[in-house]
Amino acid sequence: MNQWTKGLTLVASATLLAACSTGGSDSKKADSKKDGVVEITLWHAMNGPHQEALTKLVDEYNESQDKYKVIEQNQGDYKTLTQSIMAAGSSKTLPTIAQATPSNVPDFAGAGILAPLDDVLMTEDGFKQDELDQIYPGFMEGTKFDGKTYSMPFSKSARIMFVNEDILKEYNMTEIKTWDDVKKLGEAMKAKGDDRVAMGLENDVLMELETMARQNGADWISEDLKNIDIDSPKIVETLEFIKEGLDNNWINTAGEEGYYSGIFGRGQSALYIGSSAGIAHVEPVAEENKLNWSTAEIPVFGEGEPLTLFAGNDLTVFKSASKEQMAGAINFIKFLLEAEQTADWAIQTGYLPITKGGVESKEYQEFLKENPRQEAAIKELPYGKNQAKFVGSGEYRNIALQAIDQIISGDAKPADVLKNLQKQTTEIVNKSK
């Protein structure tokens, strides 16, 4: 905690002006009210159509009752949002609620600025037990850190596979269920001299590596932090498979384009694994190129079970909030997670409905009939998992990316690099306990 607080102070001095210019200095004092209405400030990083959808929900909430008023304040992108929170934590100008990535939550909690929510979720203006039970378990499990609930799910996504149906038909493959299927397709394309690629991945293959390793029976970093097996034979096997695919060009990454959606949309790959929220980015390019495409659940590696990792953001509430603001924050989050609102949010943004009621709602079921490419992510909801949370997860991620890059871009042996990554990760995780 002391190391994190020191870092927070250093960053705050550099980012406080930015935070003030985007609304940080306008945060109301914890006990402030206006005309008897409790004001709730919401910091977020939604832009474009996503911000329009959020503004619509905020307006609907404010019109639905007269006890609380939510004031949304856009902080730019996610990096700027995080910097604004760190600066506001130092200057004591935090908002009531903010979006946060799951990897940020442990650091914010470790700094003592987040409010644990367990005791306030089911108060007068909060959730009933049956409403909490509607939230998909994987999403709710992802809100826990150090045995406490520090966030609530909101803008969540899962990894799905984008499929070029014409390429599969050309190679007499009806579906791709496993990574062995991907390799089989890739080798067939290579043998035919096909310049297109079997599988495309984003430049950051860390999430795919962890997903495949956990499908293969490894813990990677267990969610209870009791086991770290990054250098296990099962993970070495997984990384060697990815390396083989990259070396033989039946797997490739987005490179200078940054994201693979455009490459896939132009018909340059048979498959592509990306975020379910990325469907909206693929659609216009695919339409322009008259692509015959669909989506599917991601393939399984080895003899393992289906597994996908959730991504996206949660909503956090800060300790500086007054009792009234805390109640209003929970009431607003409850509103967002009601079936109608979570379904509408998913329809407008491409994120996932957070609750079973949202998925089963008439509105969302009609949406799925008209937009069947969204179904793959819904099928993955029952077996979606979260990455482990710990203080220092940002530091771990940086060294993990560097380690994987050593293997992918150079001649380093996976077993040697993963052994070193195991040691470094264990040290970071143990410091967080």
**Number of helices and strands (H, E) in the chain?**
19, 13
Question: At how many degrees (to 10) do helices 323-337 and 49-64 cross?
Answer: 120
CATH number of 2-156+310-372: 3.40.190.10
From start to end of 287-428, where are the E strands? 293-296, 308-317, 384-385
In whole angstroms, give the CA distance from residue 373 to residue 307.
19
Q: What angle do CA 189, 306, 251 make, to 5 degrees?
A: 25
pLDDT along the chain (433 residues), means of 10: 41 35 39 79 94 96 97 94 94 96 90 95 95 95 92 96 98 96 98 97 92 96 93 95 95 92 97 92 95 97 91 96 97 98 95 97 97 96 92 91 88 90 95 80
pLDDT of res. 32: 56
Domain boundaries, the chain: 2-156+310-372, 204-253+392-433
Tokens of 198: 């079997």
294 in helix, strand or coil? Answer: strand
pLDDT at 6: 42
Which residues, at least 6 apart from 49, have a Cβ–Cβ distance to it below 8 Å? 280, 348, 349
Question: In which element (H, E) is residue 431 found?
Answer: helix 414-432
36: left (phi over 0), alpha (psi -120 to 50) or beta: left
| Structure tokens given for 51 | 């911000």
The amino acid that residue 84 corresponds to is S
Q: Which two tokens stand for residue 270?
A: 């048979």
**How many angstroms separate the CA atoms of 62 and 228, rounded?**
46
Tokens of 431: 């410091």
Return the DSSP state at 354: S
Give 411: exposed, middle or buried? Use CB within 10 Å, 0-12, 13-18, 19+. Answer: exposed
**Separation CA 38–CA 348 (nearest Å):** 28
Distances (CA, A) of 158 to 69, 125, 139, 189, 353: 32, 30, 11, 28, 11
Cβ atoms of 356 and 385 within 8 Å: the answer is no
**Structure pTM?**
0.86
Distant-in-sequence, close-in-space partners of 44: CB < 8 Å, separation ≥ 6: 51, 54, 72, 73, 74, 75, 81, 98, 99
pLDDT at residue 421, as a whole number: 96
Q: Which of 390, 321, 312, 314 is nearest to 120 (CA)?
A: 321
> Which token pair is 111?
């700094």
User: Where are the strands (E) in 101-240, listed by range?
Assistant: 144-145, 148-149, 152-164, 197-201
CA distances to 23, 128, 326, 347 from 15, rounded to whole Å, are 13, 39, 26, 35
DSSP conformational letter for 67: S
| Tokens representing residue 196 in the block | 């297109």
